[in-house]
Amino acid sequence: MTVTADRPQMLVTEFEELARHADRSIEGARLEFINGHLGGKAEPDGDHGRVVQWLTRICTQHRPDLWLDPTQGLMVEAYRGGRARPDGSLAPAEAFVGQGEWADPTPVLMVVEVTSYDSDTDRRDRVDKPRAYAGTGIPVYLLIDRDTCEVKVHSRPDGGRYETVQTLPFGKEVVLPEPVGITLDTEPLKNWVR
């Protein structure tokens, strides 16, 4: 493999092969390739899963035409061929049919990340992923930050960043902007932090 200033150290095809191997060989392995960095998502704890379950129920109740998919990988960063595994991708129910492991993010209305208690969460969830998701044009990035007990709603993507970021503490009402159009009562999130 040749390294140049214009190319990441690993090719996307090499990453995908590695991710498939890890998925078959290592229980719970969830690899990502964002901004030229190979990374792994921490194995979700029970509270992490409960947050995703809570949000899935709310989304389904308010928008039965959509599904918050907790497993679909997305192709991000077209020029670097990034691959991300959000904790949830809110899209029309049939959006990922026939897409394979890494789907086109075009139909996604919102991606969701719930912070994990690992050393890589700061760079991954607060820096790299907002840039990658904004770069694909995903309208809303919802970060449920269990470290700071805050909800961060990123919206209005403009190239490689979101122009608007609203930060509210757990317990406040959070309005997810259009095209999502759902209001969240975040009081229950207080129950699922350390």
pTM for this entry = 0.79
pLDDT at 79 over 80: no
Instruction: Say what the pLDDT of residue 2 is.
Output: 39
Domains and CATH numbers, the chain: 44-72+83-191 (3.90.1570.10)
What's 136's DSSP letter? H
Residue 176 and residue 186 in contact, taking contact as beta carbons nearer than 8 Å: no
Task: Give me Rg for the CA atoms of the chain.
Answer: 16
* Rounded CA separation 91/151 (Å): 20
Helix (H, G, I), strand (E, B) or coil at 170: coil
| pLDDT tens digit sequence for 106-157 | 999 999 999 887 666 667 778 788 999 999 999 999 999 999 999 999 999 9
Instruction: Say what the pLDDT of residue 46 is.
Output: 79
| pLDDT tens digit sequence for 36-46 | 666 665 566 67
- 80 CB contacts (<8 Å, ≥6 apart)? 7, 8, 35, 36
Residue 46 and residue 116 in contact, taking contact as beta carbons nearer than 8 Å: no
